[in-house]
Amino acid sequence: MTTRLYHDDSYADTFDAKTVDKLQVDGKPAIVLDQTLFYPTSGGQLHDTGYVNGIPVINVIERDGVILHILKKDTGTEKIQGIIDRKRRFDHMQQHTGQHILSASIMKTIGSETISVALGTDKSTIDIDRNSLNIEEANQAEHETMDWITQNVSVLILYQLPKNLLI
């Protein structure tokens, strides 16, 4: 199992690791590492990109709990140094946090839950559990979101929500 270093420090952008498996994914070389900073595509959030020993990482996916780093070409070595594309990572972090703020604001103002999210480079979408949203409801959610942002509240990262957490 790969240790997910991004859980400990989402701002880190370099790491050393060992290759524990090599395989092919859709005709491209892929490696499994003992530890990684590369975030795989999941939950509507795009994967990280960057380099492994100077070789571009073109995709990062998770299959059956295994993180696969899909590369432009084989590394040819067991020991690697990984470098995350910091600009892309930070963009994804901002979008992900913004999505949670917007989803909480929509829940608070109009009582609708987020049912799916797709964060992207050019556009992002949030699907909520209702057929339509009028301009007044959208404005309420937007104002609630902006209130949270202008308060500059701290972000707490939890992997399991406590039952007594109030938003």
Mean pLDDT score across all residues of the chain: 91
Convert the pLDDT of each residue in 93-124 to its tens digit: 899 899 999 999 999 999 999 999 988 888 88
Q: In this predicted structure, what is the pLDDT of residue 119?
A: 87
What is the mean predicted confidence (pLDDT) over 77-105? Answer: 93
> Look-up: residue for tokens 């902006």?
146
Mean pLDDT of 75-103: 93
User: What domains sit in the chain, N to C, each tagged with a CATH number?
Assistant: 3-84 (2.40.30.130), 88-151 (3.30.980.10)
